[in-house]
Amino acid sequence: MAELVMAPNPAVWQVVPGLSDAAAWYERQIAAAPEAAREAVAGASALALRARLDTELSQVLLLCDPPAELYAMLGIAALDGVPAPETAAGAVGVAESLVASPWPAEALPFDLDGVRGWRVTILDEQDAGGDDQVALPQTVSSVYVMSVDGRCVVATLSSLPPLAAAVVQVLAEQVIATFGVEEDAR
């Protein structure tokens, strides 16, 4: 069986552990956080743990930067026996099945050190105070749909305000560039 491998920068991303290490990891997160940020760190860590333990995700990474008040999660699913979409429309279909939005998604192709696919950007709208002619993006979701050594991989960033999303997309793409598949030696 092939396993998805990656090398996230530990100064940026934390690998969220499985059940056996979850409680200790969570306690370390809170203990290491500045006093003023403990509640935010606890919330972000709890959400990341829930995603790791309650879903079929292959891996969950947490970005936790209290001084910048920046918290994000990258959920990664490696799918067996499913071909990666070869078109933007196919990638948009995958992304829209994961993230609902009243606006159409936009897909851009990428090639990050041989990892090829689509970054699909989805905007969430905010009501403009009764003016039905104006809608403002409140958050941005980014879904990466790609082929990694012939295996379909989907990585989803948590929804973020537009400026934060632009910063975190770059950090997520640095991790995605390290994706590979390793054969299990069992």
**Rounded percentage of the chain residues whose pLDDT exceeds 70:** 91
Rounded to the nearest integer, the mean pLDDT of the chain is 91
Phi, psi for residue 161 in degrees, rounded to 5: -60, 150
Please state the pTM of the whole predicted model: 0.90
Q: Which residues contact 32 (CB under 8 A, 6 or more apart)?
A: none
Q: Where residue 57 falls among pLDDT bands split at 50, 70, 90? A: very high
Asked whether the predicted pLDDT for residue 69 surpasses 60, the reply is yes
The tens digit of pLDDT for each residue in 88-139 reads 999 999 999 999 888 889 999 999 998 999 999 999 866 555 556 666 778 9
Task: Report the distance separating Cα 27 and Cα 144, nearest Å.
Answer: 31
The tens digit of pLDDT for each residue in 39-54 reads 999 999 999 999 999 9
Asked whether the predicted pLDDT for residue 8 surpasses 60, the reply is yes
Residue 101 pLDDT: 86
Task: Report the distance separating Cα 33 and Cα 42, nearest Å.
Answer: 9
Residue 1 pLDDT: 52
